[in-house]
Amino acid sequence: MLIIDYLQLLKAASAKENRVNEVSEITQGLKAIAKELNIPVIALSQLSRAVESREDKRPQLSDLRESGSIEQDADVVMFVYRDEYYKEREKPGEDNLEAMAKWQDTMERVHGKAEVIIGKQRHGPIGTVELSFEGRFTRFGNLAHGWQGDNSGGDAY
């Protein structure tokens, strides 16, 4: 397995007229390495700032920075998204009690949760997987959902 942290730090073998062409050469090279050595290659990439200007901050394929070749050459593209990260920055002033109560409800709902968005999967489905997130350890795990049994009066877990 080869892990690149992160793609935009790499330089192409030959000088290119612009960064988009350079990233394209890099992604094609990584794809060739994966095939030649028969290994998975995981390349981390920055997103463009366009995601910050949208209401819904969930990343999309078009947010990949500096090249459509990342999307084109990749077999799988996954994004990590945490709503809590963005909601923390929307905290209202202490004097606005109604807004503060609404914000606290939202924070309770999103706290400790993350999403892995599968934006592309060449040989499978795309979609979103919900995970738990422990920030102090930067640890992701399975998200425990409440029991949705037969309504026989048992406790919810």
Structural domain boundaries enclosing 39: 1-74
Q: Which of 58, 74, 90 is the last residue of a domain?
A: 74
| 69/1 same-domain check | yes
What's the Cα-to-Cα distance from 43 to each of 27, 46, 74, 117, rounded to whole Å?
9, 10, 9, 16
Q: Looking at residues 106-134, what average pLDDT do you find?
A: 96
* Residue-level pLDDT at 134: 96
Contacts of 93 (CB under 8 A, 6+ apart): 99, 100
| 102/62 same-domain check | no
* Residue-level pLDDT at 12: 84
| 46/14 same-domain check | yes
| 115/66 same-domain check | no
* Residue-level pLDDT at 15: 74
| 18/56 same-domain check | yes
pLDDT single digits (tens) 135-153: 999 999 998 876 554 444 4
* Residue-level pLDDT at 21: 87
E strand segments, 29-134: 41-43, 76-81, 113-121, 127-134
> pTM of this prediction?
0.81
| 38/28 same-domain check | yes
Q: Which of 74, 102, 125 is the last residue of a domain?
A: 74
pLDDT single digits (tens) 4-58: 998 988 888 877 778 888 888 999 999 999 999 999 999 999 898 888 899 999 9
| 19/85 same-domain check | no
Amino acid at 81: Y
Structurally, the chain folds into a number of domains equal to 2
* Residue-level pLDDT at 8: 86
